[in-house]
Amino acid sequence: MCGVDSNIYKTMNAGESWEYIGTLGEQINDIDFGYDFYNPKGYLCGDGGTIGLIDDTTLVVIQSGYSTNFVKISSPYIDEKVWLVGDSSVYLYDGITFTKQYNSNVKLNSIYFWNEFYGLIVGDSGYIAKTTDGGNTWTQKPNPDILKRNLNDIQLIYNWGFTFGDMWIDFRNN
C-alpha cells in the first residue's frame, strides 16, 4: 500500500506496478493491517477525524464525528476494533461507533496494541502509558529519559518495546 495526497494505491508484484484504490479525502497520517492473513483488512487514519477501511479492492471512508487529526492507528487482532490517537486522546472504533476512551495531559503521538488487552501509548514530554484491560484503564509509566523528550512512535515485538523521540545523541564517536 502506498498513499500520496489522500489517494491510496496497492501493489501485488513487489512494487513493479501500482493500482489506484480510492481517496480518503483528507491527509493520510498512518496505515495498519491486522493479523488475519485469510481476510486481510487495512485501516488508515487521517485529518478531520477520518479513517478508511481497505480490503483487496476497495476503500471505505468512515467519518468519526470528531474533528481530531488522527495521527496513529493500531488494528492488532481479528475483530473490528481499531485504536487511534489524536491530540491528547485515545479513540476506539469498534466497527460501528467511535468512542473517546482516554484523555492525557499531553499530545499523544503513537499507539500500539499487542493483542486485545495489552497496549501502549507515547506522547510529548516523554509520556508513556499502558493498558492491560483492553483500553478501559491506562496507567502512566516512568520514562528513563530525565529530559522527558517527546516520544514519536512505539512498537512491540513479543515483550520488547521500542520507542523513539526527539533529539537523539550518537555516542559511537565519543
Question: pLDDT digit string (tens) for 133-146?
Answer: 999 999 999 988 88
How many Å apart are CA 105 and CA 62, to the nearest integer? 27
List all residues 6 or more positions away from 61 whose beta carbon is below 8 Å from its beta carbon.
Answer: 22, 24, 25, 50, 51, 52
**Side-chain-side CA neighbours of residue 108 (13 Å):** 30
Look at residue 115 in the predicted model and tell me its pLDDT.
Answer: 86
Of 26-40, 70-84, 95-109, the poorest mean pLDDT is in 26-40
Question: pLDDT digit string (tens) for 21-42?
Answer: 899 999 999 999 877 767 678 8
The CATH architecture to which 2-165 belongs is 6 Propeller (2.120)
Look at residue 172 in the predicted model and tell me its pLDDT.
Answer: 46
Look at residue 98 in the predicted model and tell me its pLDDT.
Answer: 95
Sequence spans of domains, the chain: 2-165
Burial of 158 (0-12, 13-18, 19+ CB in 10 A): exposed
Question: For residues 153 and 157, which has the higher predicted lDDT (pLDDT)?
Answer: 153
Percent of the residues in the chain that have a pLDDT greater than 70, as a whole number: 89
